[in-house]
């Protein structure tokens, strides 16, 4: 799992795939991969999330690490791992989910906001912590957290765009999770996947010097 984290820290970006239709998955993942995205989570509140995870692992497993997001229960965690999820992301801290993931050698990335929650997540065994929702407090909050908690790997999630992602990295995050600004449902419905690739490339390039 430490190797997973090491590789992620080189790539720095997790694409958050939420609410897509099943037929969108293959062209979307093709667009993301072409744009340099190497990590993507499919949120479990997406229709047919588990089949999408399974199918995209088969199609893009050599080019991308594909995980499950919005994992709220141990049952969901179990199902996601069975579907092939390579990491688990939650919006909250659940020690049982973390323990299950660790027992299956799958990196758990729980969500937390306060210093207490962040420390509890790490004490439960979290590989890194998703600081969420960052849109509420901005990059400065990450910087302040890093004062007493510099030993904890933090991934900034919530309101991330290609314009502000670098600010979160400069504040001390090891990576970001990016959803709606990258995974544009209107663009996909119109077949404009090339624009998603272009956005991904711009995001990827802006992060590489950090």
Q: In the beta sheet, which residues pair with residue 112?
A: 131
- Spatial distance between the Cα atoms of 130 and 143, rounded to a whole number of angstroms: 14
Q: Whole-model pTM?
A: 0.95
Considering the candidates 12, 86, 130, 162, report the single residue annotated as catalytic: 130
Q: Mean pLDDT throughout 34-58?
A: 97
Q: 3-state DSSP call for residue 68? A: strand
Residue 77 — very low, low, confident or very high, per pLDDT cuts 50/70/90? very high
Could you tell me what percent of the chain has a pLDDT over 90?
A: 92
Q: Domain coordinates of the chain in residue numbers? A: 2-205
Q: Mean pLDDT throughout 19-44?
A: 96
Q: Is pLDDT of 42 > 80?
A: yes
pLDDT digits 0-9 by tens, 150-177: 999 999 999 999 999 999 999 999 999 9
Q: Which two tokens stand for residue 5?
A: 């984290």
Question: According to CATH, what is the number of the domain 2-205?
Answer: 3.20.20.70
Q: What is the pLDDT of residue 204?
A: 87
Question: Taking CA 199 as the corner, what is the angle to CA 140 and CA 185, rounded to the nearest 5 degrees?
Answer: 95
DSSP secondary structure of 130-193: EETTGGGT-HHHHHHHHTT-TTS-EEEESS--TTTHHHHHHHT-SEEEE-TTTS-HHHHHTT-H
Is residue 9 part of the annotated active site? The answer reads: no
Q: Which two tokens stand for residue 9?
A: 């820290």
Q: What is the pLDDT of residue 202?
A: 95
Half-sphere exposure of 106 (CA within 13 A, CB side): 25
Considering the candidates 41, 55, 86, 153, report the single residue annotated as catalytic: 41
Is residue 130 part of the annotated active site? The answer reads: yes
Could you tell me what percent of the chain has a pLDDT over 70?
A: 100
Q: Is pLDDT of 210 > 90?
A: no
Q: Of the given ranges (1-5, 143-147, 177-181, 191-195), which has the lowest mean pLDDT? A: 1-5
- Spatial distance between the Cα atoms of 208 and 210, rounded to a whole number of angstroms: 5
Main-chain phi, psi angles of 86, to 5 degrees:
-95, -10
Question: Taking CA 98 as the corner, what is the angle to CA 92 and CA 103, rounded to the nearest 5 degrees?
Answer: 165
């Amino acid at each position: 799992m430490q190797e997973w984290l090491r590789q992620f820290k080189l790539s720095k970006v997790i694409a958050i795939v939420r609410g897509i239709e099943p037929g969108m998955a293959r062209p979307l993942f093709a667009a993301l991969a072409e744009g340099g995205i190497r990590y993507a989570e499919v949120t479990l509140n997406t229709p047919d999330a588990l089949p999408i995870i399974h199918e995209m692992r088969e199609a893009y497993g050599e080019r991308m690490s594909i995980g499950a997001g919005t994992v709220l229960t141990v049952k969901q965690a179990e199902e996601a791992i069975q579907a092939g999820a390579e990491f688990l992301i939650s919006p909250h801290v659940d020690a049982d989910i973390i323990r299950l993931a660790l027992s299956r050698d799958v990196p758990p990335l729980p969500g937390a906001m306060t210093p207490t929650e962040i420390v509890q997540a790490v004490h439960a065994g979290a590989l890194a912590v998703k600081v969420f929702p960052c849109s509420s407090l901005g990059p400065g909050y990450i910087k302040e957290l890093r004062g007493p908690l510099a030993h904890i790997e933090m991934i900034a999630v919530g309101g991330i765009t290609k314009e502000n992602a670098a600010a979160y990295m400069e504040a001390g995050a090891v990576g970001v999770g990016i959803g709606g600004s990258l995974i544009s449902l209107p663009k996909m419905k119109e077949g404009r996947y090339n624009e998603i690739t272009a956005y991904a490339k711009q995001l990827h390039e802006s992060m590489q010097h950090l």
